[in-house]
Structure formats: C-alpha cells, structure tokens
Chain A
Amino acid sequence: MPAVSDLSSVIAATTQWLLHAYPTTGRAFSAELARAQARQAVTVACWLRYPDPADVALLMLLGPGGAARLDEIAGTDTTEADTAWRTWVDEVAASWAACLLADPELAADAVDALAPGTHIAGRPVDFRRLTAPEELDRGAAVLLRHPDLLAPVADLHRASLLDLLGTAREAA
C-alpha cells in the first residue's frame, strides 16, 4: 500500500486508464514511449490538483473516485476482470492530462505553474516527453495526443484547469 503522501498509485492507475482508452498502434517500445508521455501528463495534473500533503492525505483517505464516468464516456467494457485498479483512477487528473497531451503549449504552462513545494521539494524536474515530444514519441502516441479523440475526456474538466492556470499566471 502506498504511503499517505504518495500519489504514485493514483498516477499509475490514471496513466493506465489513458493508455487503455488511447492505445499505441506500435509495438512494446512504442507502448513505453506512450506510457512515459501519459505518466508525465498525469503527474503534472496530479501535482496541480493535489499541491500539498493535506490534499494528498484526503485523497488517500477518501479515494480518487474511480473511472466509472470515464469508462462510460470511452465505452469501456467494465465487465472485464481487472477492475480493481480502476478505483485508483482520478477523473479530473485524467481530464487535465488529456488537455495537456493535446496541447504541448498548455502543457508547458502547466509545468511552469507547478508550485515549488511538496512534490518537487526545490528540485528541477524536466517533463520533456510531455512538453517537447520528439518524432518517435509522437509516432507512439498518435491517438493519445489527438485533440479530437481526447476532447470528450478533456472537455469534462478543461474549464477548471484553465481557471487554475489563469490564477497561477496572475499570481506569478
């Protein structure tokens, strides 16, 4: 079980949901390149959404909400056996990550808006698979970065992400 301050299970599950919904068309290496991009997008989304230890503690206590509405939108067959991890999916983080994957400029703004506190602890972090994908990355993530395909998920919570980034920009 993760520590109270640890978002890694939520990040891993939400990443997995995005990869199931927008699978790579390539082989194993492409799948890993796509996973890196999705994981970085979800990490940025979760760090924005849960910026301090109290947020993370509450999330761990109450649960991230699960993938029910996302699965409905994506038309996922939820009768499949491996449903346990879906309870760790965070709908808002998935939606914000979809916004970031569709728009590298917005992703760069989101990375700039990360608070220097809890998660980064003063360390520099480079999310370049998200913000500056190379040809191999893009080739591996054709569906995962397609704005039209991402829209139903991205639109769910896009407004709150833009609000948050606008507020962060004004405060800077």
Chain B
Amino acid sequence: MDDQRTAATPDEDVVELLLHRHGEIRNLFDEVRTTEGDARREAFGRLVRLLAVHETAEEELVHPLARTTVPGGEGVVADRLAEERRAKEALAQLEELGPGEPRFLPLLDTLRRAVLEHARAEERYEFVKLAQETDPATRQSLAAAIRAAETVAPTRPHPGVESASAGSMAAVVDRVRDAVRRASAGSG
C-alpha cells in the first residue's frame, strides 16, 4: 500500500490525514483518466486498493465517532455508508470491465464524481465537527489507529526469533504474562 500513499507526519491529526488521503484519491482518478495501456491498468490497481483501504478505515474508526459527535450523526453516517456501498458496486463493475474497454472511462467518470461528492460531504458534515468537538489527543490517536489499519506485513523478521520455535516462544509469552498478572494481583 505504500506505493500510492505519500508520507504522513507522525503528529498529523485525523482530519489532516483524511484530507491528505482524499487528495491522493483525487490525484489517482486523474492519473487513471490521463494514462493509457499498462500505465492506466497499474494506476487503476492503486486506486482500487487506496479506495478500499481508506473507506474501510473511515467506516471502522471515523463514522462511529461522527455518529455521536455530529448533530444528526446517525443520519449523516447512514448516508455516507449508502454512498460507500454504491461506490464499491461501481468499482467492482469497473474492474470487471477492465481499463481497455470503451465504456471504462465514462463509468470511471461517474464513479469519480460520486466519490468526490462523497468526500466533500464527509469533509463538510463530519471532519469540520470532528475538528471542533474532539481534543487534539483524540484526533492524534485516531490518526494512529488509521495508520495502523493501513500497515502492511513487515519485510524483516521479528528480532531474535529466527532461531526460536514457534510453540516454545508462544508458551513463554503466556507463562510470563500469567506471572506478571499474578504479581500485579498480589501487589494490588
């Protein structure tokens, strides 16, 4: 996933991070529209992955908070979820069609307009309120949670475990944890 995401600063809050992602989505739609052949296919692949990961993260972490923070939050979130569902169906249809088909670009344009309108509605109804109604620590922890949800599997081994057998290490973790809990219970 790192291929289409530009670096986000560690102290970037959730609103800044999401606006950043919306900008990346807008740029990727333009890239798919303005390229051809393999370049378009590759850009469309990145768009598919970015949209899927971004919408899931919003649904998991941002909309639940908006439900309780934004006036009429339930209705606002229900509208966004319905838009996301329609966008996913359109995306699946586009992928099935393939970037080489003549109908691909008109359908892509319809999806682009729907996704950008969806993003503007989120920015207007959810992000502004989140920025006003939540404290900086909450916004930073949400950003960290979103970045965690975007994490890909490490390419380096866990330090020190290459020679350990899986079963024995898991057992050590459980034994140490139990010992710590007993100690904490005893002292508490």
Binding site for B on A (CB under 8 A): 6-9, 11-13, 15-16, 27-30, 32-33, 35-36, 39-40, 43, 54-55, 58-59, 62-69, 82-85, 87-88, 90-92, 121, 123-129, 134, 136
Contact = CB atoms under 8 A, between A and B. Distances in A.
Nearest to B174: A92
Contacts of B151: 8-9, 11-12
Contact of B165 (A15, A68, A121): A68
B61 A91 contact: no
Interface string B71-86: 0000000000000010
Interface of B: 45, 48-49, 52-53, 56, 59-61, 63-65, 67-68, 85, 88-89, 91-92, 95-96, 138, 141-142, 145, 147-149, 151-162, 164-167, 169-170, 172-173, 176-177, 180, 184
A128 B59 CA distance: 8
B81 to A, nearest CB: 9
Contact of A13 (B45, B96, B154, B167): B154
Given A32-B48, A123-B138, A136-B88, A62 B176 contact: yes
B52 A36 contact: yes
19 contacts: A8-B147, A12-B154, A28-B48, A36-B56, A54-B177, A63-B159, A63-B169, A64-B169, A64-B170, A65-B169, A66-B166, A67-B166, A68-B166, A83-B157, A85-B157, A124-B64, A126-B60, A129-B56, A129-B60
Dominant secondary structure at the A interface: helix
Nearest to B160: A63
Chain B interface mostly? helix
Given A32-B53, A58-B173, A65-B170, A16 B149 contact: no
Contacts of B88: 29, 33, 136
Q: Top 9 A-B pairs ranked by shortest CB distance?
A: A32-B52, A63-B161, A124-B64, A65-B170, A8-B148, A68-B166, A8-B151, A85-B153, A87-B157
A9 B173 contact: no
Contacts of A84: 154-157
Contacts of B172: 62
Contacts of B147: 8
A69 B149 CA distance: 26
